[in-house]
Structure formats: C-alpha cells, structure tokens
Structure 1
Amino acid sequence: MKRLLSCLLLCLPALFATAQVTQDATRQLQIFEDDDYFNIWGRGTDRAYSNGSSIAYLYMKNKQSTFLDKWLLHQAGADGINVFEWDLMQIMITPNQIADTSYQPKDFYYAGALFATHALSSYNPIKKYGFRTEIVFGVMGPWALARETQTFFHNLINYQPPRGWENQVPNAPLLNYNFSFEVMLWNPVKALEVIGGLDAKAGTMTTSATLYSYLRYGLINPYFGDIDLKTATSRRFQLYVMARPQVSVIAYNALLQGGIFRSTSGNFEELAGQQRTHMRNFTIGMDYGIGIVIKRTTISYTQKTRTEWMSGTGKHSVGNITLTIPISRKTIPGK
C-alpha cells in the first residue's frame, strides 16, 4: 500500500523546492513532505532520515520589522524583496529494521524532532543576491511525538509497525540560528541560471556549513525577482530542470548524537556505550528535479541523495514533494 501511495505522488508534476521569490503573491501556504520511500528509481526505503513533514505560512509586509525580526533576520539591502515565514515541522530518523524491538548498535538511533521556524528570505533583484535567515526552536526525543506519528500512519496504510522507539534519543530543547547566502554566478541567457550558495547552521540542533551551486534551465522567471513586477512575473507558466551539488561539514547533529541532555539519561548512555557507528563529519550530496509553475501555484518533486550520515550505513536518498498555494490576490503589500 505504501508503494502504491508513493507511486501516485510521483506522478504529480514537479518543481524543485527552492526559495525562488514569488512577487505576485503576498501570502502563501506551503505544504512540504520528505520521505525516503519516494524514489524515482524505485528504490524506496524506510530508514535513516525516514520522514519530514511541514506546513508553512509565507507573507510579505509593508511595515518595518521590530524586535527579533529587525535584529536577527537579515535583509538584502534597501531594494530587497522580503518574504517572511512561519512553519511547523516534524522529522523522524529510524534504523533499518523497524520491526526489531532490540537496540541496533550498528545503525541509526531512533530520533524525532518537532520544531517551529521563523524565517526571512530576502532577495536583491538589482545585484542578484539573496539572504535567508532562520530562528529554529523546538524539542527532540519523546516530546516530539515522532513515535506516535509513525505508528499512526503505518497502521493507516497497513504497513509494518515500528517497534523500537523505546530506544530513542532523550528529550532535549532545540534552538538554532541558520543563515544562507546565494549569488548569481552565471546568467548568459534568460533560460539558464547558475547560482552559488553557502549555508551555515549553529545551535543545539545542528552546527554545520554547506557549500553548493544551483543550476536550473528551462522556462523560468528570474530567481532573485525584478524591480519591475511585470518583468518578474512575465512567465505565467514555468517548466525547468535543476541540479544542486553540495558539500557539507558537520560538527554536531543532535538527532545523530543524542542531544545536549544525553548524559542525564542513564538508559541512553548505556545504549550509546554499545554504539558501533558514529556520525560522519563530511558529506557530499546532489539534489535534482524537474519543475512546473502555473500562475502563482507551484508543485514540486526533488530527489535528494547524500553520502552516509553515519559510518557503515551507506548513502541515502530522500524524495521531496512541496505544494505552494497563493492565498492572497494582492501583488504588492498594502496596494
């Protein structure tokens, strides 16, 4: 049944889940789903980073930002196009044998996280660069309810129940500050864009740095928008292919290492003492996809492949589907 559901979802038109600005929609609703059973090569799994579900509200505003928005969310200059965001996300990580009730020391820990993100994506259409800043706060461990979510959906689709959540990482708070910078590297014709990017994360959830390039080709509007709204939205139908190679250095990942309170849990410390695998500090990845935009609505599919996160577990691939729907007819805040 799960294979059937994933195949049906993969038949949908697709767009890479990117942060491309949509200038003619001041309010949008975004639904985001990662699942390692989504795989264009028919090699779906149910392990490692197994699932991530998110719902987000994106909006533009006229009034000046205050307090946290002013001091922590970075804008791309006076000409910047600013898209703010609130979203709620739950993710889960599991070992390969989810029907096994015993601890599996050569695989991933059971781990879940539930967190909110407040973000600003700011684009400078003149100089063709952009920033994205995020404040992330939430919880991991049993408080995140990942066990209950996975059990519910596996029962719903009549799939094998997960039986090893007694061995999950302990409860802990999550607080992160994330920053990304993107700039246009090459744009010889309207149909081709090559963008370079740097993403950095620091906090109790993840501390890492990623260097990447983003290539897309096809029927597209400018990635960083345009000061003229008509030019920015000239194509009401977009269709393109994309690729995003990347390299990452990871100093810390709470879900792979047990979180900041791991030493206070005697049960988890006992399990960790048996652990035969460890987090990799260096990974290489590739995202690729094909996309479609119809007017102001986008639907997306991306295949995301990474070298192994934990030693001995092998490379892993996750599919992503994202739907973004405009919920406002206004094109400019307050107009």
Structure 2
Amino acid sequence: MPAPARTRPPRVPTAALLLVFLFPAAAIAAPQCSSSRLSETPPAVNFRVDNDLFGGENQDQGYTNGAVITLVSPNLADYTDDPCLPRPARWINRYLERLHPGRFEQQNMVFSISQSLYTPTDYSRADLIPDDRPYAAILMASFGYNARSGDSLRTTQLQLGVIGPAALGKQVQRAVHHVFDGEDFRGWDNQLHNEPLLGIVHERMHRWGDSEGNAGGWGWDAIAHYGGALGNRATYVNTGLELRWGWRLPDDFGSTPLRPAGENTAPARERLSGWSWHVFATSDVRAVARDITLDGNTFRSSHSVDKRPLVGEVGYGMAVTHGRWKFALARYHGAREFEGQKERPVFGSFTISRML
C-alpha cells in the first residue's frame, strides 16, 4: 500500500515576507530629522487588537480577530525629499506621486501591517458550510498619506496584501486559542484560495467643535467623514459621524481605529501633556459592491455567500492619554452582512499608542 501523501505546509510568498519585514524596518529606521521637529511633532507607533470575544459570549465568529501595527511619521514638508522619512519611503513615494494630496498646512505618512481572520459560526465542522461565510485570512500592508487644512483632512491609503493560506490565519488562530485554552476551528481547509490583493482607500473628514476650549478643559467635537475604497479586497462608498466629549480633547480626527486617520495617525496642530480622556460614539454606513471575504476569490471558483449591499456599524468607547501614551477601548455592533447570517457582528478593539 502506498504511503499517504504528506500535506505540504503553506508557503509564504517572498512578497508577503517583504510586506511583513521591509516596511516596519524602513519606517523605524533613524532618519536625519532635526530634533526640533521631532520634539514638536514626534513620530508614533500604534498597536491594535480586535477580537469578537471582547463582544461577549458566543461571539467567536465573523470578523473574529485582527492585529495591526502602525508607524506614523512626523509632520512632513513633502513626501519625496523630507529627511524625516526613511530613505526607502522617499524612494517608494517617487513612484506614487499620483496618490500624494499636494500641499496643505500639514501632512504626514503612515505605514501599517495587519492580519485579519474571518470564520463561520460553527467551529466544530470540518466540512464546507454553504450557508455561512467562508474561512478567510488577510495579510495586508498599507501606505497612508494624510493632509490637513485647518479642521479638514483628506487621507489616501494604498493597500497591498494576500488572502488565503499564505496569510497564515489557521496557524495564528490555533496558536492564540491554545494559549487561551480555546477550541480549534476545524474548517480552515475550506478557506479562500491564495490571491494577491490591491486596493486604494480615500476618505475626507471635517471636525467641528471649540478647539481652543477643548485643549484647556471640558469640551466636545463632531467629526464627519465620507469616502470609499476600490480594489479586489473591497469596493464600497461610505459615510458616517463620530461624537466625542471629555477632558482636553486631542486635536485630531477621531478615536475610531478601524478607519483611516483614526487613533493618533493624522497631523496634529498641538501636543497635549499630562492627563486627558474622552468618551466617543461613532457610526459608519457602507454601500458595498465587493467584499472578497463574502464574495469569494476574484479569479477562481470558491465558497461565497450572498452579501447585503448596504451595511453599517455603530461603536462606542473611551480613550485616555498621559504624556506620550494613549490607550483606547471600543466596542462595535454591526448589521448583518449576508443573507441568512444568524447573529449581528459584535466585537471589541483595544489600541495602545506611543509617541517616540
């Protein structure tokens, strides 16, 4: 009897390895940036974890886990020659000039690496579940360009990544569940196939509120946004609003880490010292033409479900800042994303930010 064929472990393409290692290394390299500029607008690093277990019991499903590390540049004079950007970033920007927003009062750049995992509800089934969402994992790198004029901001992100076994979703989820004594999801052999991802995201935001009063005491603000995305990962248009109230509100464009320019990534006109805190409530509505985690692979036959064309979510949370550190905790409630979905998505998000 012939020996059973051995299953080859998924290989990570060279491009994926470059996304994971090259861009963070480039972003934290010590550029020739003046100490005065670094003191006025220091670079920052943000680390965010999303997990549906934060949403409560029996919530290990849908968008089940995500992790993002984001590196934020100081305010920049330009995107191709400013010494506050590391040399690899300046070199890349020369080929991406069409994405640059032009000259504004302030502008900066953001680099991020993220992994997102999506699973159906029943973890115990090893077969394909036709009426529930596909297993999917996404590994993504993005370059973000923010430009601010007063209380208005425009942000553009170029996203490059991969979906499928190369994103290592099965391995990461099992490792995390073994640490926390969770159950293994048995259906990862049915996940979406490997496919490169390319997309662009653009949003515009405007902030209202008493900025001068907020910096010295109690205050509130409101931040409206609209924009969209185009690519094989996702294609949609969206709009929404965030409301904040608290002690010494930051001079930024929101505390919602799920969207571009959230959580300490937009240029700031002033830097607060000491303690500050605020609570926030946010909403977002999207008209969706494509979502690869529901529609399935673009160029190959794969598992898919009938997505709903109009979806949205509301969230609420609290952010605390002291000195160079910021902590934010949020909880999100979403609309059902596809026909036959039993539970509405609920998940939590925790973010740690530090100015360098």
Output the TM-score relative to the length of structure 2: 0.75
1:137 to 152, 160, 163: 160
Say whether the 8 Å CA contact 1:116–1:137 is kept in structure 2. Answer: yes
Matched, 1:51 2:65: yes
- Which residue identity is paired with 2:336? E
Tell me, what secondary structure is at the counterpart of 1:207?
Answer: strand
Q: Which residue of 1 aligns with 2:15?
A: none
- Post-superposition Cα deviations, 1:112-147, rounded to whole Å, max 9, x if no partner, equal 1111011122222x3x10011100001001111111
Matched, 1:180 2:203: yes
Displacement of 1:224 in angstroms is: 5.7
Say whether the 8 Å CA contact 2:76–2:108 is kept in structure 1. Answer: no
Q: Which residue of 1 aligns with 2:277?
A: 239
Judging changes above 3 Å, is the alpha-carbon distance between structure 1 residues 287 and 156 closer, same or farther for their aligned structure 2 residues?
same
Tell me, what secondary structure is at the counterpart of 1:262?
Answer: coil
Displacement of 1:24 in angstroms is: 4.3
Matched, 1:33 2:49: yes
The 1-side partners of 2:225 and 2:306 are apart by 28
Q: Which residue of 1 aligns with 2:100?
A: 73
The 2-side partners of 1:187 and 1:62 are apart by 26
Displacement of 1:244 in angstroms is: 1.0
Q: Which residue of 2 aligns with 1:118?
A: 143
Displacement of 1:213 in angstroms is: 0.8
Tell me, what secondary structure is at the counterpart of 1:37?
Answer: helix
Say whether the 8 Å CA contact 2:153–2:206 is kept in structure 1. Answer: yes
Displacement of 1:44 in angstroms is: 5.4
Displacement of 1:99 in angstroms is: 1.8
The 1-side partners of 2:231 and 2:320 are apart by 35
Judging changes above 3 Å, is the alpha-carbon distance between structure 1 residues 61 and 24 closer, same or farther for their aligned structure 2 residues?
closer
Relative contact order, higher structure (CA 8 A, sep 6+): 1
The 2-side partners of 1:68 and 1:197 are apart by 28
Displacement of 1:198 in angstroms is: 0.6
The 2-side partners of 1:132 and 1:252 are apart by 21
Say whether the 8 Å CA contact 1:221–1:235 is kept in structure 2. Answer: no
- Post-superposition Cα deviations, 1:22-76, rounded to whole Å, max 9, x if no partner, equal 994422111111100013xx4451100001111121112545323245321325x
Say whether the 8 Å CA contact 2:201–2:229 is kept in structure 1. Answer: yes
Matched, 1:167 2:190: yes
- Post-superposition Cα deviations, 1:126-184, rounded to whole Å, max 9, x if no partner, equal 3x100111000010011111111111211222211111011111111100000010012
Judging changes above 3 Å, is the alpha-carbon distance between structure 1 residues 24 and 106 closer, same or farther for their aligned structure 2 residues?
farther
Percent identity over the alignment is 22
The 2-side partners of 1:132 and 1:62 are apart by 14
Q: Which runs of 5+ in 1 are unaligned?
A: 1-21, 328-335
Q: Which runs of 5+ in 2 are unaligned?
A: 1-37, 81-93, 255-266
Matched, 1:284 2:312: yes
* More moved, 193-202 vs 61-70: 61-70
Say whether the 8 Å CA contact 1:181–1:197 is kept in structure 2. Answer: yes
- Which residue identity is paired with 1:142? P
Say whether the 8 Å CA contact 2:160–2:199 is kept in structure 1. Answer: yes
Q: Which residue of 2 aligns with 1:322?
A: 351
Q: Which residue of 2 aligns with 1:256?
A: 294
Say whether the 8 Å CA contact 1:176–1:202 is kept in structure 2. Answer: yes
**Matched residue count:** 287
- Which residue identity is paired with 2:63? Y
- Which residue identity is paired with 2:242? Y
2:128 to 103, 107, 129: 103
* More moved, 182-191 vs 169-178: 182-191
The 1-side partners of 2:340 and 2:100 are apart by 39
Judging changes above 3 Å, is the alpha-carbon distance between structure 1 residues 96 and 289 closer, same or farther for their aligned structure 2 residues?
same
The 2-side partners of 1:87 and 1:144 are apart by 15
Say whether the 8 Å CA contact 1:254–1:260 is kept in structure 2. Answer: yes
- Which residue identity is paired with 2:60? D
Displacement of 1:185 in angstroms is: 4.1
Judging changes above 3 Å, is the alpha-carbon distance between structure 1 residues 133 and 174 closer, same or farther for their aligned structure 2 residues?
same
Displacement of 1:315 in angstroms is: 1.3
Say whether the 8 Å CA contact 1:195–1:213 is kept in structure 2. Answer: yes
Tell me, what secondary structure is at the counterpart of 2:54?
Answer: coil
The 1-side partners of 2:42 and 2:311 are apart by 36
Tell me, what secondary structure is at the counterpart of 1:256?
Answer: helix
The 2-side partners of 1:90 and 1:224 are apart by 24
- Post-superposition Cα deviations, 1:258-312, rounded to whole Å, max 9, x if no partner, equal 121223xxxx3xx55xxxx411110131011111111221111111111011222
RMSD: 2.4
